[in-house]
Amino acid sequence: MAAGPGLGPGRAMAAALPAARLESVRALSALLREAQPRETAEESVFQDVLEILTSTASALEQTCKDSCGLTDLDTCLLLIAECFRCLRNACVECAKNQHVLSNRNLGLISTSVHLIKLLHGIQIKEELLLTALRCSLQFLGNIAAGNGDSQNSIWKCAFPDLFLTCLTYSDEKIVTYCCMVLFTCLNSERVRELLDPQNLTVALHVLRVYKEQLDSEWSFLIVTEHLLKCPELVKALYAKLSNQERVTLLELMMVKVSDKNSVSSEEMNVFVRHANFLADCFQEQCGAVLKFTAAADVEDEEALVTIRLLDVLCEMTSNNSQLEHLQAFPGLLETAVDTLRLTHLAGKQAVNIFTATHAVTGQEEISHPAVGFKSHLIRLIGNLCYKNKENQDKVYDLDGISLILDNCSIDDNNPFVSQWAVYAIRNLTEQNEQNQTLIAQMEHRGLADSSALERMGLEIQQRDDKLILRSTRKKPS
């Protein structure tokens, strides 16, 4: 690359006084913003920048040891930031420069990681230091983008220490750029490295970043595109999380499961394994939701986890591949019916969030976290019984049909509960004469609300000595 205005020969740039070097590197940074100079840049130019970084790092270490004046430190920080801007710009959409800069003989990536650690050790939080750190991470992100050699070098030099350091930094931009580097370097093999107890903390920090910075796209992508693809990691991570953090993880799983178009067939198999784990978790702690019967525990975190577990299971059972697996999962259907019975009973014994209510004006808004919980239980039961004779019969044996019918009235605490009850009853009675007969007998004895059955599109007819449950909807001619 021809020398830009005021740059002079490369070696002169490296050997000049700090102020002159700063101006030269600034000029080079500006030049490398353009595509043509980037493509024609020679390796010697980057060797010069590396020499400046190396000598500045030495000066910075000496400055810190000698407690020199702030002026020397400021000059070092400005020069480091500008060198990384230059290197960052050089890598933008330029595979040639990425290849040159990732050369192990050049040692630029290892020098950069060393400098980041050195900058972190400086006990000041002024803007110049933050800028230098931000630019260094942007450079690592740019050199790693689409370049396997760079990703390998960064991982070898930076994992896990650099990520542990920068993911917990107080500056939001530094955390964001660190997430960018991590996302770019991760692959299936490296995700499994996070299973090591010492490395699991990196995954924990990523989830906490997302929880605290909900607009962090990179942390979202790390979880949804990498971490969730490893069921063993999710299980290990879940065990280490607080209940609040578990809610966050479950919400991210919900996003992934709900977006069926973005889930590959391979990921479907992964989510079947997730389904096993989540079904186990739900069965273990479903009783926690009863804590919501006491007003004082309205924010109970364990109960919130139970609600999110149910939400994800409902969504999973709306997908055919996961539905068949969960329909056969030991004890899940029984747990759902038992939990519905307990919450329904709790709502009858005292006035609480599980008590059926219908506002006269219809304008009251209920924001309790357990709103809709019984609706979702009925939805899960209905899903688990879809075209599944064994599960239909289980609900019969558990006396779950009368329980569902008792929950089919309009209830402001459970929006759409009547619609989910209709859905569940249809699934329970489809090609199941035993269940059809039971509902017909209940209506005949006044134990089932005939108006509710009408809303379901069902009616009872007596033929000879037999009661028959039939659909009132006209079949297409």
Residues 316-329 have pLDDT tens digits of: 999 888 999 999 99
Q: Are 338 and 289 a contacting pair, CB within 8 Å?
A: no
Q: How far apart are CA 167 and CA 124, in angstroms?
A: 18
Residue 67 lies in a domain: yes
The structure tokens listed for 435 are 């269940």
Residue 273 lies in a domain: no
Residue 164 belongs to a domain with what CATH number? 1.25.10.10
Instruction: Determine the pLDDT at residue 115.
Output: 94
Residue 387 lies in a domain: no
- In Å, what is the CA distance from 142 to each residue of 176, 178, 184, 249, 251? 14, 12, 9, 28, 30
The tens digit of pLDDT for each residue in 102-126 reads 988 889 999 999 999 999 888 776 8
Determine the structural domain holding residue 121 and report its residue range: 1-181
Q: Which of 77, 106, 217, 89 is nearest to 143 (CA)?
A: 89
The structure tokens listed for 47 are 């060797």
Residue 345 lies in a domain: no
Residue 32 lies in a domain: yes
Instruction: Determine the pLDDT at residue 425.
Output: 93
> Residue 178 pLDDT > 80, yes or no?
yes
Alpha helix (H) residue ranges in 199-300 = 200-212, 217-225, 231-240, 243-258, 265-285
Average pLDDT, the chain: 87
Instruction: Please tell me the pTM assigned to this model.
Output: 0.88
Residue 368 lies in a domain: no
Q: How far apart are CA 91 and CA 89, in angstroms?
A: 5
The lowest-confidence range among 16-20, 31-35, 208-212, 255-259 is 16-20
> Residue 457 pLDDT > 90, yes or no?
no
> Residue 1 pLDDT > 50, yes or no?
no
pLDDT, mean of residues 139-153 = 97
In our burial notation (b when 16+ CB lie closer than 10 A, e otherwise), range 440-464 reads: bebbeeeebeeebbebbebebeeee
Q: How far apart are CA 468 and CA 477, in angstroms?
A: 23
pLDDT band for position 333 (cuts 50, 70, 90): very high
Q: How far apart are CA 235 and CA 257, in angstroms?
A: 17
Instruction: Determine the pLDDT at residue 12.
Output: 45
Residue 20 lies in a domain: yes
pLDDT, mean of residues 31-53 = 95
The tens digit of pLDDT for each residue in 364-387 reads 566 889 999 999 999 999 999 999
How many domains are there within the chain?
Answer: 1
Residue 456 lies in a domain: no
